Each structure stands twice: as structure tokens, then as C-alpha cells.
A and B are shown apart, each in its own frame.
Chain A
Amino acid sequence: MRLLRAKWAPWALLAAAAAFPFVAHAVELPYLVRVGGVIGLFMLLGLGLNFTLGYVGLFDLGYIAFYAIGAYTAAIAMSKGVPAPLAVVLAAVVTTAFRALLGVTILRLRGDYLAVVTMGFGEIARLTINNLDGLTRGPKGMQLAAWRPLGFVSADPNIQYYLLILAAVALSALASRRLEDSRVGRAWVAIREDEVAARLSGIPVRHYKLLAFTLSGVFAGVGGALFAMWEQFVTPESFVFWESILVVSIVVLGGMGSIAGVLLGAFILAGVPPLMQATLSAEWINYRYLFFGLILVLVTLFRPQGILPSSRREAELGAE
């Protein structure tokens, strides 16, 4: 644990993660590269939701809607001939705009009312995508042309997207870290811990809430676009309510407001089902999600504050 706190630790981890796909291929476990990439996508989503749920404490149950908007923006843009890198940028912009729009409308709601409204928006987004056949091809889904930007590193698309996602995760973690220590980050935590006191101290609460809510759209947008391009196919079936729940669980189980916690949470919750897929025998494969539910309950019972709670939060709660 102390090792993890060392200054060079994140960089060493990053280097190890970058080398991982090549090692996995060398030992003939290429499946783990795919799993690593999927974990990376959920790390990205977790870091994004961490802004709203972790830093400001806004309970969002419809986050996956923005992942969907990112994925579909990229798919539609590419089908109209927009080059892939531009499509990623476009996805981030469009998703963030949607997020800002929703934020302006609903952020005056509190607590669980906000949760239910975001859940409603998640369903509205999915059903609209499913019903707007003219734009999104509805339940038939959309194909995307292949984009292989890292062909010089490896011919395997899984390795390429693993590395792209890894880069996005590293950048997001770095950005989160910087923001955490900034004036903005401190204001967010102040709002989370006591909104009234924060307002009385002169923090423009509404603005800061909206900023956090909007920023988390960027991550979902980029994540969605990368997901769509990796799979080369998007369908509304990918963006069900369950996925929103999963991202919330990642943030809460990992440790709200803690970057390392969210990364570890994603590693466990997004990694365990596919690893069980590979290790459980034919008789036990049906039990996969039963075990997953057990893990969720047990970890929560043993680490109710999250596996790696943010040190700031831990200090505050410990003092209570």
C-alpha cells in the first residue's frame, strides 16, 4: 500500500499496463487483452461518473445514456464520411452538449429525485435510439468502418484499442488528479459534504454542480466512441439500465471520489465476469452472475466505504 502511494507508482503501473498486451500474447492468453480493454472502458466511465457522484455527490442512474450518445454520434458521423479521429472529438462534443443541456434542466433536483430523473433519461435515450429507425437504424444497429490507427504497433485490433483506451484512461486519471487539487475540486468536495455551508462560503453551487455534471459527459462520449469503433457495431441492446447500475457500483464500491478506488472498482466489477467466463467449467458457467452478486454484497459488507476510499473522505469520516 505504501508502495502505491509513491510518486513513481502510477507511472510504473502505466508502463506495466502498456506492456501487458504483449506479455499476454507471448504467453498465449490473448483473451486477456480483450478483457483488459473492456475493463479500461469501464475505468473511463467510472472516472467520468466520479465527477458527478464521487466529487459532488450527485446521484446519477442514467449515465450510460451518454455512453450511448457518444457511441451513436461516432457511428452516425463515420457513416457520413467523417474521419474517425474527428468522429471521436465530435462524439465528445455532442455528448457533453447533451449532458450540459440535461444538467441545466434537472440539477435543481435533489438526491434520489435526481437519481430517478436520470434513470428516466437513460430509458428515454435508449428507447429513442431504438425508435428513430431513420437515423439510427433502430434495433438493427449500425455498422462502422474499420479504423486501425496503431497498425504500426500491432496488427491485432484488440491490442490497438487496448492501447488507445489505456491512453484515454491515463489522461482522464491525470486530469481528475489535477482537478481534485484545484480550487474547483475543493469547491466540489465542499458542496458534497455540506451544500448549505458551501453556498454560505460564497461558492457558486449551481455553477460548480453543472460544471462537474457536464465534464463527466466528455468521458462517456470518448468512451462510447472508442467502444463503437472497436466493436465496429452499435445496437441499443448495449445501453440498458443495468450498465448504468454497473458504473454506479464501480464508483461506490471502489471508493467515491478516489481515483485509485474507481480504477480498482472497474478492475473488479468489469473484470470478474469475463474472467469467470474463462475459468468456470461447463457445469458452473450458469452460476456466473450469482457469484457476481455475492461478490457485490460481500465486498460492500466488508468495505462499506469503498475498497480504496479517498484519503480526504476517509479523514473526514474518521473524525465523525
Chain B
Amino acid sequence: MFLQQVVNGLTLGAIYSLIALGYTLVYGILTMINFAHSEVLMLGSFMALGLATFAPAVFGTGPLALVAMFVVGMAGAGVVNVVIERFAYRPLRHISRLAPLISAIGVSIIIQNAAFLWISTQALSFPVPVPVTQLEFAGASVSTLQLVILATSLALMGLLHWFVEHTKMGKAMRACSDDVQTAGLMGINANKVIAATFFVGGALGGAAGVLYGMNYQVVKYSMGFLPGTKAFTAAVLGGIGNIRGAVLGGFLLGFLEVFASGYIPNGAQWRDVIAFTVLIIVLLVRPSGLLGEKVAEKV
């Protein structure tokens, strides 16, 4: 039973981590909570679903369709995130810190209602293009789908790490994250870097949306809100703006939730209370999250 709960926690944590990365990337560069990220995730999964519904003729079923769904979901979500940044955040960038947040809330409301009105007012079932089998493993039941989810998220995290650490754009992103103005003076085109960051963050959100859709096989216009808030919490838990922190926070929250509902009597209904209480305690001990650097005070 313990092993089974570990498997459950890993799957949940992997998804939270991916979403948390989207929040943390944007935060790292603009210090803003991208409230619309949960809606980007929802749109990503809807786009993948659209592909799966309308284009099985091209890709058939099987691994190719799976890859195509990821490509469409990630690219679509990335583009949406860039468009949102361009029109709803960029005009407000240097004016006030809270105005982009309100704009983001507005965008989130618009996207959710648009999906409700024009895509579907109800939950839709989400296909898994590869056959899923259950593997028995030391008393725990692991599905091949869970393995796909874990592998995909770990691969994406590795890819992100490589991108940020070893490419020119990644270097520019790190520079902007340290200090946008100085980076600009050094000849970095901040607008371009910020757009790239939003694309990468959105793509990760889209990937998470596809995984989320496949794991639960149901998607709905309001699906983004809950995992969005939780992943944001996870990002803060790990230290917002910190990439490794987001991954750590995501897995930690996944395990926390699983063990709270699995081992504490009546734990399921107190699960979120427990998770948030742990968050508060962690932040009181480490005010910048688990891996966050101490923020220098503004002088």
C-alpha cells in the first residue's frame, strides 16, 4: 500500500511540477503572478483534444498521435501565452506592479467563459492514443500511462534545464531574471526574451494540460483553476522564481496531498487544509521558500 501511494504521489507531483514551472519562469522575469496560466493549461488540453478528434486520419492512433497531441498542445498554449503577454501585460509593464495582475485575472475570466460559450459547456472525454495496461509491481498497480506521464515530465524538465543553462536564449533569460534593465543595457532585447519566456512557460503549461487530460481522461472549461492554484502554491513552496524549487515544490505538494488523504483519518476533506498549513509553516521558517534565495531588500 505504501508503494502504491508513492506511485500516486509521483504522478500527481509530476503534473504539479510542470504547471509550477510555468508560473515560476514568468515570475522569475517579471515578478508577476500569471493568473491566466491555469487557463493556458486548459486551452492546451483542448487544442490537443481538438487534434485528436479531427485528425486521426493523418496521425492514426499510436505513438505518432501522442507526439502530435503534445506538439499541438504545447505550441498552441505557448502562442496563447505570448499573445496574452503582448496585449494584456506588456502595456502595463513599467506602470505598476499590481495592474498586470488585475489584467491577468480579467484575461483568465475571458478565456474561461469563451471556452464555456464556444467550445463546450460540459466535460469532454479525453482520448489516450496509446493502449494502457496495468503493470503489477511489488503489490502496487502502475499503469503504462503513469509511466508516460512521469517520463514526459522528467524529459521536459531536463529539456528546460538544458535550455536555460546552455543556450544563448537561456542565458539571456537568466540575465533578464536578474535585472531586466541592466540586461537591456547589455544589448539584450528584453521584449524578445520575455516573449520567449512566456512561450516556454505556456508550452510547459500546455504539456501539463495534455498530461492532465490523459491522466483523468476528462477535460472541462473550468479544469485549470484548481491545479493552477495548487501548482502556484507549489512554486511558492519551492521558492518562486527558482526552477529547481518549482520541481521540488510540485513533487512535495503531490506527496503531501496523497499522504494526507491516504494516512490521516478523514484526511481527504482536510487534505488542502493540511497542505496549506504546511505551506505557511515552511514559509515562516524559510520566508523565501525551500530553495529561494533571500531577496535583497530594496534600498
Contact = CB atoms under 8 A, between A and B. Distances in A.
A and B touch in the complex (CB under 8 A): yes
A124 B277 contact: yes
A89 to B, nearest CB: 29
Interface in A223-255: 241, 245, 248-249, 252-253
A253 B102 contact: yes
Contacts of B103: 296-297, 300-301
B117 A287 contact: yes
The prevalent SS among residues of A at the interface is: helix
Given A112-B236, A131-B269, A287-B117, A117 B279 contact: yes
Contact of B287 (A59, A109, A249, A295): A109
A121 B99 contact: no
A11 interface: no
Nearest to B27: A112
A22 interface: no
Contact of A117 (B95, B273, B283, B298): B283
Contacts of A287: 113, 117
Nearest to B101: A252
5 contacts: A106-B284, A113-B289, A120-B277, A128-B273, A304-B92
B102 A252 contact: yes
Interface of B: 27, 31, 33, 88, 91-92, 95-96, 98-99, 101-103, 105-110, 113-114, 116-117, 229, 232-233, 236, 240, 269-270, 272-273, 276-277, 279-280, 283-284, 287-289, 295, 297-299
Interface string A48-73: 00000000000100000000000000
B33 A110 contact: no
Contacts of A195: 297-298
Contacts of A147: none
Given A123-B276, A294-B110, A301 B270 contact: no
A86 interface: no
A304 B110 contact: no
A105 interface: yes
A201 to B, nearest CB: 14
A120 B269 CA distance: 15
A115 B299 CA distance: 22
A272 to B, nearest CB: 12
A293 B109 CA distance: 5
A297 B110 contact: yes
A293 B33 contact: no
Contact of B88 (A59, A112, A249, A301): A301
Nearest to A305: B96
A98 interface: no
A245 B284 CA distance: 24
A253 B92 CA distance: 13
Given A113-B236, A113-B287, A127-B272, 17 more contacts: A59-B98, A112-B33, A112-B240, A120-B276, A120-B280, A130-B269, A131-B273, A194-B298, A196-B299, A249-B105, A256-B98, A293-B110, A293-B113, A297-B103, A297-B107, A300-B92, A304-B92
Interface string A296-320: 1100110011000000000000000
B102 A123 contact: no
A254 to B, nearest CB: 11
A130 B106 CA distance: 28
Contact of A124 (B105, B107, B273): B273
A252 B273 contact: no
A286 B232 CA distance: 29
A297 B233 CA distance: 25
